[in-house]
Structure 1
């Protein structure tokens, strides 16, 4: 008898259990003491971020380990190069949701900007260092952008426009990602100084942005050495 694929087992059991835990926290934590609320929300945030959608979908659809291809990352860019646009679009949507849902949960249960930021950071850390995949995940662009869209939509829009412009001007997705992160962080700082955004959100911009840029350090090295492939060529990239 063939053994069940562990990825399928996780998809059929682990993800539904995590979804049930999310709903349980949403429905039951409202009246609990703050430390209990924080513990529940932040734990769920990290676990949601840790779900490696790129790995799961390619393993189930093609029977391959995405970590053995391209950049070795589990995010959308590497999935795009390996499996094509349809699967990559689904991974992008799911990875963005990993940033959106924790912030929504923190805002609903705790209702403090510090909690929103903590949940966003834990989701980002989960995506980049997932407990379900040996702490080897993506670079955090999609998950970080999902959280930023809820926290500071204007800054997210600025970052997206700079990302698109820099990517098409340079033909480097990684450079576009880095410049987009920097632009979004500076936009958050400007809005904070003008009194339109809470200071903790600015902290997320710089801490989260720093994590994402750190995850691109190999891309930065290749750009400096002239070895980074441009958009449209199979290569390592931003995930």
Structure 2
């Protein structure tokens, strides 16, 4: 059952809604437009706010669905959390699209909403404030993802296995955003509203 859950989660994550929607509306590959990232932020730059909100919701639901399926299969908590990680891996490295996808922020949000709701809400508020102040989506996203499992440790209410996998998700997110981090340190990261960025 674990293997089934992991595979299903990965396949669900591999459905690139930003690619499909952009291809349908504008007849272009979003990975060759804007920042080259197949995610909601780049969809905003390429198509506008309506399609971007749609992509964001659908990508979040990928993480939610992965967790719900794992829970329906009555897996242990660590396996449920690992299913969420598989969905994020699917989004980042989609088998249907040559393993070139997004950075996994929205799908991570879906996973964290299900696994670490209170830490996520707190981290989400902080992340949104940072984005509003700095207009760096990458900065707010990275801080949100790092803070969520960190706050779960501080709160101490959540399973150690979920928190541990949460930090694996952090490592993946930092790796995916490594170039954004370099640009942030050098003051070269593009802000929300520019053609390139997250």
**TM-score when scaled to structure 2?**
0.96
Deviation at 1:204, TM superposition (A): 2.2
1:210 corresponds to which of 171, 176, 192: 171
Between Structure 1 and Structure 2, whose CA radius of gyration is higher?
Answer: 1
Secondary structure at the aligned position of 1:111 is classed as coil
1:201 corresponds to which of 162, 170, 177: 162
1:165 paired to 2:144: no
Deviation at 1:123, TM superposition (A): 0.3
Alpha-carbon distance in structure 1 between the residues aligned to 2:125 and 2:19: 28
Quick check: 136-145 or 108-117, which moved more? 108-117
1:123 paired to 2:87: yes
Deviation at 1:176, TM superposition (A): 0.9
Spell out, residue by residue over 1:57-95, the C-alpha distance to the aligned partner (whole angstroms, 9 max, x if none).
110111111011111111000000000011001100110
1:232 paired to 2:196: no
The answer for the alignment partner of 1:20 in structure 2 is none
Q: Give me the CA root mean square deviation.
A: 1.1
Q: Which runs of 4+ in 1 moved over 3 A?
A: none
- Write the mapping of 1:168-179 to structure 2, written as runs, cut at 5 A: 168-179=132-143
- Write the mapping of 1:55-204 to structure 2, written as runs, cut at 5 A: 55-191=19-155, 194=156, 196-204=157-165
User: Does the CA-based 8 Å contact 1:188-1:205 persist in structure 2?
Assistant: no
User: Does the CA-based 8 Å contact 1:188-1:201 persist in structure 2?
Assistant: no
Structure 1: give runs of 5+ residues left out of the alignment.
1-36
Deviation at 1:232, TM superposition (A): 2.5
The higher relative CO (CA closer than 8 Å, separation ≥ 6) is in: 2
Alpha-carbon distance in structure 2 between the residues aligned to 1:67 and 1:232: 18
1:220 paired to 2:181: yes
**TM-score when scaled to structure 1?**
0.80
User: Does the CA-based 8 Å contact 1:128-1:138 persist in structure 2?
Assistant: yes
Deviation at 1:231, TM superposition (A): 2.4
Structure 2: give runs of 5+ residues left out of the alignment.
none
Alpha-carbon distance in structure 1 between the residues aligned to 2:56 and 2:135: 20
- Write the mapping of 1:15-54 to structure 2, written as runs, cut at 5 A: 37-54=1-18
User: Does the CA-based 8 Å contact 1:107-1:115 persist in structure 2?
Assistant: no
